[in-house]
Structures are given as C-alpha cells and as structure tokens.
A and B are shown apart, each in its own frame.
Chain A
Amino acid sequence: MSNLLDLTALQARQGLEKGDFTSVELTNAYLAAAQETKGLNNYVAMTEARALEMAAASDAKYAAGNAGALEGLPIGVKDLFATNGVPTTACSAILKNFVPQYESTVTSNLWADGGVMLGKLNCDEFAMGSANETSVFGPAVNPYSAVGGADLAAGGSSGGSASSVAARSSIMATGTDTGGSIRQPAAFCGIVGMKPTYGRCSRWGVVAFASSLDQAGPFTRDVDDSALMFKSMASADPKDSTSAHQPLPDIDGAMAAGVKGMKIGIPSEYQMDGMDETIIKLWQDGQAWLKDAGAELVEISLPHTKYALPVYYIIAPAEASSNLARYDGVRYGNRIEEGGSLDDMYEITRAAGFGDEVQRRILIGTYALSAGYYDAYYLKAQKVRRLIRNDFDEAFKQVDAILTPATPSAAFPLGVKQADPVTMYLNDVFTVPANLAGIPGMSVPAGVNGDGLPLGLQILSGAFAEDKMYAVAKQIEQSAGFSEVPSRMAGGAS
C-alpha cells in the first residue's frame, strides 16, 4: 500500500470506497502526521478520540453502502469555527477555554457528508493578520523553509490550515477569508485555497471578524479536492440572513469542458511597482498557458483597485470594533476582576484578553465610526466599495474570469513584518478587492521563486460563477504541473 498521506482527498475517497484501506487507518495516519509535524504549531487542539469515533462510523457507512461525499476523510478546522464540545478560541486569550455548545453550519455540513474531525487549527487572533503571528498560541510555521533554514510565515490568517494541508497533517482544512486569509496562506504554502462568493457558506457559528467580508472556504491539495470540499461546505442557511439562496453551478462540468473559448481578463492595475520579478514572470506564464489552451486574453481595467486596501482597512476594523464588543468578560471567556466598577472590569479584561493587532483594529474601527468622522471614513469607504464592485461588474460583462498574482511576494520569514503593520497589510493588496466586491477568488500553486518557494496565481470570477473560476484553476493546475513538496512534510518527501 502506498503512503496514505500521498493521496489527495478524491484518491483517498476512492481507496476507501474500494476498501483498499479504512477510514480508521487513514485517520490514524493523519493523527500520526499531526504529531510528527508538531513543530509547525498547526493544531491548537487535537480531537483524537472524536476523530477515531467518526472514522469508525464512516467505515460502517462504507460497509453499508451509504457513504457521504467526504466519508471518512480527515479534516482540520480553523479555530474560528464553533465546534460543539471542543474549545473554540479564535486563537485569542479572551476566549481561552471557551467551549461552545453548538456546531457551526459549515462544519455541520462537513460532518453530515462524512468528514472526520482531526482538531482545531491555528490562525491569527480573530483572523486579524497575514502571517498567523497574532495567535495567542504563537505562529503556525510554513512547512517550506527559507534558504538557510529560517522559519517562514505560513501566511494568515488561516496559517495553520494552509500549513497543515501542505504538511499533510490534514487531507483538507477549513479556512475563512476576510481580505485574503485563505488565498494568501494557500499561495505561501503551495496549495489550493478558495474563497467562495459572499453568502455561499453560512457564517453561523463562525467567530465574526468583519461580517460583510467574512467567508469560509476550503484548503486542499489540488483543484478537484477544492471543488469536492466546497460543495459540502456551501449551503443556504436560514440562520444566516446574508446566506445566498442561489444553486451551485456545475463545477465538475465546467472543469471538464475546459477554458477553450473563455475570455480571461488581465487587469493592468495589478502590475505593481517593486513586485517580485518571478511573480510577474509567473503571471505571464499563466496567461500563456490559458491562451495555449484556447482562452482569449482581454486586457481590462479595474480603476479603483488602488483604493481597495485603504477601504478595507476602514470597513473591516469598523465592523470588527462592533463585532468584538461581545467579548466583555460578562457571560463567557476570560474575565479579570480587580474590584472597581463595571467599566474597570471591561478595561482590564479586554486589555489583557486582546493582543496588539486586535486592539489596534478595534481602535481604528471605533475611530472610523465616531461622530464627526463617520462620513469622512466609514461612509466614504462604503461609497468607494461600491465603485470597486462596479469595476468588477463592468469587467465581468467582458470576461468570464480574471487572472492575477495571488500575493506580491512569496512567504517571508517570521518576525520581519511585525514592526510595521502597514507592510503587513500590503500583503493583501491582490486579494482584498474580491472580498469588497463579494466575488469568488481562488489561489492555485503555479510555480516557485528563485529560492524554491511556492507562488500562487489568483483566479477571480463573477458572483455565483464559481464554475468559471474552477475551469480556469483546473487549466492553470494542469499547465503549471506544480509538484513541489515542502521540506517539513509528514512522511518525508516521497
């Protein structure tokens, strides 16, 4: 039997179906892999007993012939998703030891389809960060190392999810993406990360960062697995008022049909000064691959792109400042009492419970919503957001999908961007517009830089047209033939 960890989710699903191995075996392999890669600090909580219980149940389903779409596949869960009876902390001190008595809709969907829960994965505190460095558990580490061996950032906020899938300590993992938190770490770790159209995946039971931007999505090793997991995660949820009631498109059909005849937009605004040469080269390669496969390249303009980052850093903190008000020490989570008034309790609890980046964003958001500043900041940002959305609406009248780089650089060493938040924020420059517009976006590993570190290309499509995005992603994957594996991978390079 080949190394179980080498199998993609679809391959493993076939192996389970055929009876080549059991889910308990597969799950044990992944639990061992999680132990082996402990140094990457990906899991903040393991649920071994539950995993083996679920795996045994899955084996029974295979035996009974009623296996679900994800039956028996071991999945990691970003610690932002509420998991019934399992600590859910958002990687924040303020929620340390918080154990919800409910299960998020997205994870419920995965378990309903037979997924096996391995544990909870590291992320930036309340998903605020681009390197997983704001986590109270410390940073997740990229399984790719720098030349010379320095630890690299796995990206963020879903760093633990991306690193875990790349290091093969989970076969797939959930993430959330508010400004690039799935696509950027996927690019950094050389795997596939997808942010669906806003509203596809229910936000019910997901710790909120910025409600109008947050969207859950899958981390997988390849594009087919991504489609498989996405179909399970998505649902129209009456418990989420912003949930979409649009049926899923035929993704598999679109991938089979290919990109021939599709129009692919290349936005001139994504050519930025000081961008890594290898990334520009990769982007050009991507365009050539699609052209070779019969797609038509169309130069397009998204004129308000340059405002996306500033707009994002007003809207996201504004919503966050309000969303995080509930962590007040009154009903759950950590409370610190040192006598004094109710206000004193709030101040001490929140000062101790929230890290610097979270406090920074709460302050920015509070400021942006304050009387006298609301019109100049929040309201203006909402208007510009509308313009950014219009840019995409216009573009998608001409093209089926848009191809851009996923990130302005490859993974950077841990610690180097801590000092200056703005340099850190610039990491999301290519990913943020999709969140502001509510459209789907996907990062596919397509090459490496001079240091052998993975680089991703981003594919965007119109709202609810994930099929087109997947068709392009599938072609990029095939043409790129990306086959790098990280040095710190469970089971070693095979």
Chain B
Amino acid sequence: MSNLIQGRTGEWEVVIGMEVHAQVSSQSKLFSGAPTQFGADPNQNVSLVDAAMPGMLPVINEECVKQAIRTGLGLNAKINCYSVFDRKNYFYADLPQGYQISQFKYPIVGEGAIVIDLKDGSSVEIGVERLHLEQDAGKSMHDQHPSKSYIDLNRSGVALMEIVSKPDLRSAEQAGAYMKKVRSIVRYLGTCDGNMEEGSMRADVNVSVRRPGEELGTRTETKNLNSVRFIMAAIDYEVQRQIELIEDGGEITQETRLFDTNTGATRAMRGKEDAHDYRYFPDPDLLPLEFSQSLVDELAAELPELPDQIRERMVGEYGLSSYDAAVLTEERETAAFYEAAAKDQDKKLVANWMSVELFGALNKAGKSLADSPVSPAQLGGLVALISDGTISGRIAKDVFADMFETGRDAADIIEEKGLKQVSDTGAIEALIDQVLADNQDKVDEYRGGKDKLFGFFVGQTMKLSKGQANPAMVNDLLKSKLG
C-alpha cells in the first residue's frame, strides 16, 4: 500500500517520529515514597522530596527501574546496565525542584523494534530509539481563580517512561497503530495501565514531509496528545498544513505546536529560537544507575507472554485466522478471556463465538468485556454443547441471547426450555414422514427431477422440530426417504 500523499504539485512522503510518555505502574513515585494513585484531592500525594523542600534528596524507586527494564524487554530493546540520571533545568510553577530528573546521554533502554499491523493485513517494523525514566511535573490549574494559578503536586515526581521511536512511521494510520501497539505491550507487561484519558499515556509527534527519496524535511513537534484519535487527527492536519505551505512557496519552521481538540487544528506554541536551554548535567544527588545482567535475565524469565507471541500461538497451534488472533490479542483482558473460554474447547469455534456473538452483544449493550454478563467458562460451556451435538448452531444463538440477558448457564437454559437437539432416528423419521405427507405435490415435483426442492424439505423438517432436529440426520434420512 502506498503511503504517499498527492499534493497539487506531486507526491509527498510523510515522516513521523513519536515520543510516548507512559506512566510507570508503581505504588510510589520515582524518587520518593509518596503514593501515585489517581484521583486524590490536590496536593495529597506529596512528600517533602516532591515539594523540593530545602535539603531533600531523591532516592531511586527500585520497582520503577524494574518496570522500565520489563518494558524495554517487551520492546525487544537493548537494556543498558549502566545509565545516568540528569537534571533538565527550567523554571515553572509546577516544577518544584526547578529541574526535572531525567535521563539524557545514558538512557536505561537502548534500541529496539516492534511490529505494527495495518488494516490491509500488512505489518511494518518500527524502530525504537530509546526508553528513559523521568519525573513527571505537577499540574497548573489556571481556571480556579480569576487572577491566580493553583498548583497540584500530586503528579510531581511520578515515574514516566519516555519511549522514543525512530522516524520510521509513514502515515497517521501507522502512528495510530504504533500507539495502540505500545499501549498493548505495556498493558500486557503491567508496566503502565495505559489509561490515556487519565493521562497515564500521552504522545508527542514529530512530523515532516518530503518528496519521495529526498532529504528529510523540517519537522514540527505537536505535544501532549492523549488519544489515538487525536494523534491521527493532529498528524493529518499537520501533513496537510505542511504540504500546502510548501506548495504555496512557504517554508516549514522548526517549532513546537499544540493540538486544539475542539477545532482539530494545530497551532504554534514556541519556535526554535525560544527553545529552552535545559542545561542538562548528571544529577549529583544520584549515583549512576547500575544493575547486573542477571537481574535483566531474571525479569526476562518472569515476563508474561506478549501479544505477538500469543498471536503466533493462536495462529500456529489453534489454527485461528490472523485477523481473529489480532482482534483477540489487542487487549490483555480479551486474550485472557479467550484463553479461559477456549480451554479444552474447539479453539476456532470459541474464537468465532467471541468475536462475532459476544463482541456484537457487548457493543450493542454498550458494555466492555470486563462487564460481560457471560463469563469465559459460560461461553466455553455453550461451545461445548454445540460441539457435542447437544444443540445446533442455530439454537445456540437463541441460548446465547438468553445467557447474555440473564447470566445463566447454557445447559440450564437448554434444559428448562427443552432445546436439546433431537438425534433420535425414529423421532426425526416421524417428522419427515409428516412433512412429506403434507407436501405430496412437492414430493412429486422432486421425484420428477426438481432437485432444488431438497432444501425445502430440510427447512420444513427443521421448522417442524422447532430447530431442534439434528440437521445432519435430517439430511441423511430425507435423502434415503426421497431416494
């Protein structure tokens, strides 16, 4: 699939790099013991260190380091057993220390790569440049008072992982897929909860355009995008803006831009000349971060199965289609639901029932998988009854609708409603005899060579059995009777 964009004067190639900021899932902050939980009242989760009181010192939270290593492993990246925390100096009211502790020259994670899957079924490998640990800042609130700004330091010092991609992305779709994939990986790993609406993940996108094969164009950086939709919209807008500007004889200025979620447009925030000089230097309050390869190996051994691995297993061992496998592994919870439902069952049948019936019903009811009235075991139970011929697929749909509404087991519903499939030869023969007797004219026509009428007799027999007759047996017996 070509990603080239047709402009007025010819084709353009889009080049995108992303910086994803992911909040580390941890009980306490990167350098203090203050809790990280979301939704606390302002300034409740603030220690002396987070408020940068005089004489306070940072102490690294070991769990955050492990989470960064796990994430690095999940991104198939090189783990650096030696890394350094630097101070990034700038003044802002919600930055108590007057600097952010980050990693500049020596990040904890180096180069890696992940594979993203596109709608057309193709996949692309996207390079990861690095991942580093850093502190989040607090939050400034400018709408609480007519002349004052309020500061909430709850987020101050919370651990973030900044995951920097290589400029390998070529379209808004790829950028969206990349974000989803990174999100999926950290959620599988449990290293970030991925809640974009709570600010646990956000992205900065670097966008430039160029004529195919030419040098990289000047890029702009659009900051703080907190949904996949906004990421894609901001890129679409920025690409159009840049192409039009260049085609009209203008030049792109290297600048930082903001995305307006109301208008869908980006606007300049500050230019290159206003860029901060962050005066990075190694934080003298912290020793270089060093750990052994054996810690990395240990964490690697404990790593949960990642979506790509599960998918491979689903396709290879279960024989699922690549599409079904992708749908079932997008979220960790979905894959876990499927695995539980499919245990000892027909894998393909469960996949089918989950992605068609269950997702359809959940969608219609506006529910998420977590709220599903049908448990994995119940779905598995239903499929088992289809597989062993207790009910037909047709009946199963009615049973499922009942299950979804009442949360009851399939077996109970079938028992109560008497929906059990009829596989008794005598009973089915009786039904067939009646159908044939009631439709003597059609029988004559069939015998006169009108083969197509066979389906009619099947349909009538099934109808008479209220759908409970075993369809295969109906077929066989009809053939012999009409024979």
User: Do the beta carbons of A326 and B284 come within 8 Å of each other?
Assistant: no
Within 78-107 of A, Cβ neighbours of B (below 8 Å) are at 81-82, 88, 90, 95, 98, 100-102, 104
State the CA gap A18–B277 with chains docked (Å): 63
Contact of A240 with B by CB under 8 A: yes
Closest to A367 in B: B279
State the CA gap A319–B284 with chains docked (Å): 8
B42 to chain A minimum Cβ distance, whole angstroms, is 14
State the CA gap A383–B149 with chains docked (Å): 44
Known A322-B87, A326-B97, A331-B96: A210·B284 in contact at CB below 8 Å: yes
Q: Could you say which residues of chain A place their CB within 8 Å of the CB of B91?
A: 325, 328, 343, 346
Closest to B58 in A: A241
State the CA gap A332–B153 with chains docked (Å): 14
State the CA gap A370–B279 with chains docked (Å): 5
User: Do the beta carbons of B93 and A208 come within 8 Å of each other?
Assistant: no
State the CA gap A95–B53 with chains docked (Å): 11
Contact of A203 with B by CB under 8 A: yes
Scan B91-104; emit 1 where CB is below 8 A from any A CB, else 0. 11100111100000
State the CA gap A331–B99 with chains docked (Å): 15
State the CA gap A322–B281 with chains docked (Å): 9
Within 269-301 of A, Cβ neighbours of B (below 8 Å) are at none
User: Do the beta carbons of B89 and A241 come within 8 Å of each other?
Assistant: no
Which of these, B59, B92, B286, contacts A238 with CB under 8 Å? Answer: B59
State the CA gap A319–B86 with chains docked (Å): 12
User: Do the beta carbons of B54 and A325 come within 8 Å of each other?
Assistant: no
Contact of A211 with B by CB under 8 A: yes
Contact of A173 with B by CB under 8 A: no
User: Do the beta carbons of B57 and A203 come within 8 Å of each other?
Assistant: yes
User: Do the beta carbons of A100 and B281 come within 8 Å of each other?
Assistant: no
State the CA gap A212–B286 with chains docked (Å): 9
Q: Could you say which residues of chain A place their CB within 8 Å of the CB of B277?
A: 370-371
Q: Could you say which residues of chain B place their CB within 8 Å of the CB of A334?
A: none
Contact of B114 with A by CB under 8 A: no
User: Do the beta carbons of B54 and A90 come within 8 Å of each other?
Assistant: yes
User: Do the beta carbons of A241 and B281 come within 8 Å of each other?
Assistant: no
Interface pairs (9), CB distance under 8 Å: A90-B54, A98-B54, A204-B56, A241-B58, A322-B99, A331-B96, A366-B279, A370-B279, A374-B280
Scan B38-68; emit 1 where CB is below 8 A from any A CB, else 0. 0000000000100111111111100000000
Residues of chain A having any CB pair with chain B under 8 Å:
81-82, 88, 90, 95, 98, 100-102, 104, 203-208, 210-212, 238-242, 318-319, 321-322, 324-328, 330-332, 342-343, 346, 366, 369-371, 374, 378
User: Do the beta carbons of A322 and B96 come within 8 Å of each other?
Assistant: no
Q: Could you say which residues of chain B place their CB within 8 Å of the CB of A371?
A: 277, 279
Contact of B287 with A by CB under 8 A: yes
B47 to chain A minimum Cβ distance, whole angstroms, is 10
State the CA gap A330–B93 with chains docked (Å): 6
Of all A-B residue pairs in the complex, the 3 with the closest CB atoms, nearest first, are A325-B98, A211-B284, A369-B279
Contact of B198 with A by CB under 8 A: no
Contact of B285 with A by CB under 8 A: yes
Known A330-B93, A331-B51, A366-B279: A325·B57 in contact at CB below 8 Å: no
Q: Could you say which residues of chain A place their CB within 8 Å of the CB of B115?
A: none
6 additional contacts (CB under 8 A) given A208-B285, A210-B284, A211-B285 = A321-B89, A322-B99, A322-B281, A324-B98, A326-B54, A326-B97
Scan B71-92; emit 1 where CB is below 8 A from any A CB, else 0. 0000000000000000101011
State the CA gap A104–B53 with chains docked (Å): 12
Known A102-B48, A330-B93, A370-B279: A204·B284 in contact at CB below 8 Å: no
Q: Could you say which residues of chain A place their CB within 8 Å of the CB of B54?
A: 82, 88, 90, 95, 98, 100, 207-208, 326-327
Q: Could you say which residues of chain A place their CB within 8 Å of the CB of B51?
A: 331
User: Do the beta carbons of B52 and A331 come within 8 Å of each other?
Assistant: yes
Contact of B151 with A by CB under 8 A: yes
Which of these, A203, A241, A378, contacts B55 with CB under 8 Å? Answer: A203
Which of these, A241, A332, A370, contacts B285 with CB under 8 Å? Answer: A241
Which of these, B52, B58, B149, B279, contacts A326 with CB under 8 Å? Answer: B52
Q: Could you say which residues of chain B place their CB within 8 Å of the CB of A370?
A: 277, 279
User: Do the beta carbons of A241 and B99 come within 8 Å of each other?
Assistant: no
User: Do the beta carbons of B60 and A241 come within 8 Å of each other?
Assistant: yes
Closest to A214 in B: B284
B451 to chain A minimum Cβ distance, whole angstroms, is 85
User: Do the beta carbons of A205 and B55 come within 8 Å of each other?
Assistant: yes
State the CA gap A208–B87 with chains docked (Å): 15
A86 to chain B minimum Cβ distance, whole angstroms, is 13
User: Do the beta carbons of A322 and B151 come within 8 Å of each other?
Assistant: no
B101 to chain A minimum Cβ distance, whole angstroms, is 11
Closest to A332 in B: B53
User: Do the beta carbons of B55 and A206 come within 8 Å of each other?
Assistant: yes
Closest to A104 in B: B55
Which of these, A238, A239, A242, A330, contacts B287 with CB under 8 Å? Answer: A242
Q: Could you say which residues of chain B place their CB within 8 Å of the CB of A208?
A: 54-55, 285
Known A102-B53, A242-B285, A378-B281: A325·B97 in contact at CB below 8 Å: yes
Q: Could you say which residues of chain A place their CB within 8 Å of the CB of B98?
A: 322, 324-326, 328
Scan B144-185; emit 1 where CB is below 8 A from any A CB, else 0. 000001010000000000000000000000000000000000
Q: Could you say which residues of chain B place their CB within 8 Å of the CB of A211?
A: 284-285
Q: Could you say which residues of chain A place their CB within 8 Å of the CB of B97?
A: 325-326
Q: Could you say which residues of chain A place their CB within 8 Å of the CB of B93?
A: 328, 330, 342
Which of these, B92, B96, B280, B287, contacts A241 with CB under 8 Å? Answer: B287
Q: Could you say which residues of chain B place their CB within 8 Å of the CB of A242?
A: 284-287
Closest to A205 in B: B55
B471 to chain A minimum Cβ distance, whole angstroms, is 72
A351 to chain B minimum Cβ distance, whole angstroms, is 14
A435 to chain B minimum Cβ distance, whole angstroms, is 12
